[in-house]
A = this chain, B = another copy of it.
Amino acid sequence: MFTLSEENYLKAIYHLELDSDKGISTNAIAEQLETKASSVSDMIKKLSDKKVVVYKKYKGVKLTDLGKKTAANIVRKHRLWEVFLVEKLNFSWDEVHDVAEQLEHIKSPKLINQLDALLGFPTHDPHGDPIPDKNGNLKTIDKSLLSTLSKNESGVCIGVDDSSSEFLRFLDKKGITLGNKITVLEKEDFDDSLSILIEGKQLSISNKIANNLYIKKI
């Protein structure tokens, strides 16, 4: 149905659309995929021919319903495989992404349904990102950045914005794990750094970290 390359473009557009309701520009896609605008321009024609995007010239592309469903299914596979790697194969959360980038392109509906069942129908991947359902529906969860919490407010750590290996390993080193309860003890006006209470311990957190950690306010 779709080539590996087409799937990667669809996924990129899908992710970009989550942050924008306007058409996705050629340049934005090129940046996301670390490729050139001319290559994107070529691919847009192919995707348009295949009815997965609509293109209004110089206004960017938008996914059609078919495009959205196709892209969501790739994201679904990516995240289910990440759960599998962590839960069944003892990968840590900073090791799974590159392997999932490969596994997401395996074509077998039965495989992914059975994997879903084996994993107990998980709703989120190891980084706290929601797993689209079979129909491509994504439930958006009510999340805030840790940096938006005020003094004495609390939340449960539910996800990361930056899911680079570097950031994830940094969180590991600090002992910050999804599910942990965090309370803001102090907020420095000077550099927006935080003093937080997490799992009974006190920690100092820079603004950069607080801007990349999602919490659910409680």
Q: In the complex the two chains form, is A91's CB within 8 Å of B114's CB? A: yes
Judged by DSSP, the binding face of A is helix
- Cβ A110 vs Cβ B88 within 8 A: no
Contact among B88, B91, B99 with A106 in the assembled complex (CB-CB below 8 Å): B99
Q: A115 vs B89: C-alpha distance in the bound complex, in angstroms?
A: 7
Residue A148, interface by CB 8 Å: no
Q: List 9 A-B contacts (CB under 8 A).
A: A88-B118, A89-B111, A89-B114, A89-B115, A90-B114, A91-B114, A99-B111, A103-B106, A106-B106
- The answer to the question of A20 belonging to the interface, with a C-beta cut-off of 8 Å to chain B, is no
Tell me if B106 and A102 are in contact (CB < 8 A): yes
User: Contacts A106-B99, A106-B103 known; A111 to B88 CB distance under 8 Å?
Assistant: no
- In the complex, A85 has a CB within 8 A of chain B: yes
Distance in angstroms between the alpha carbons of A91 and B99 in the assembled complex = 23
Contacts of A133 in B (CB 8 A): none
Nearest-neighbor residue (CB-CB) of A88 within chain B: B118
Question: What residues of B have a CB within 8 angstroms of the CB of A153 in the complex?
Answer: none
Nearest neighbor of A98 in chain B, beta-carbon distance: B108
Q: Is A6 an interface residue (CB 8 A)?
A: no
Complex CA gap A85/B118 in Å reads 11
Cβ contacts under 8 Å, A107 to chain B: 102
Least distance between A3 CB and chain B CB atoms (Å): 12
Indicate whether A17 reaches chain B with its CB closer than 8 angstroms: no
A52-83 residues with Cβ-Cβ distance < 8 A to B are none
A148 to B88, CA, bound (A): 43
Q: Is A7 an interface residue (CB 8 A)?
A: no
| Contact, CB under 8 Å: B102 / A118 | no
Within 8 Å by CB of A102, from B88, B108, B115, lies B108
